[in-house]
Amino acid sequence: MKRNIKIRELTSISVSPGRDQLIVFHSPKNLDLVFSLHSEYTPLKEDRIGEVVGIVCKKYHDLTGTELRVNVSTNIACRLHGRARIITVEAASNVEVPNFRPKEGNIIFEVPAAYCV
């Protein structure tokens, strides 16, 4: 994946309310950036979403003079490669490491049950 999203071009940020650390940077080009702050090999013990959101919002304000909208939800709408998708956070008892999987044209973000609100 080689693409840049300039902070001043962001339209909003969406995060999930649980410990899963899901974050989506929304861009006007319909190429949103979706990721989770987890390591494949070792679970992140600290919640870093607040720090990421704080730093990005501060930089956005410094660059534009306006506030960046932040949405919090377990169902996050996004656009990937021009297609509208809904990312739904779901707890799964058999999941040890969070992962993304497709479902009926949308995306399920499966997390260990302990990660959910």
> Does the global pTM surpass 0.85?
yes
Taking the C-alpha atoms of residue 25 and residue 115, their distance in angstroms, rounded to an integer, is 21
Q: Tell me, what's the pLDDT at 69?
A: 97
The residue type of 94 is: N
Residue 117: predicted pLDDT: 57
Domain ranges of the chain: 7-85
pLDDT in tens, the chain (117 residues): 566 788 999 999 999 988 888 999 999 888 899 988 876 665 656 778 899 999 999 999 999 999 999 999 989 999 988 899 999 999 888 888 888 999 999 999 998 877 765
Gap between the Cα atoms of 78 and 80, Å rounded: 7
Burial of 67 (0-12, 13-18, 19+ CB in 10 A): exposed
CB 57 within 8 A of CB 67: yes
Alpha helices (H) in the chain, listed in sequence order = 49-64
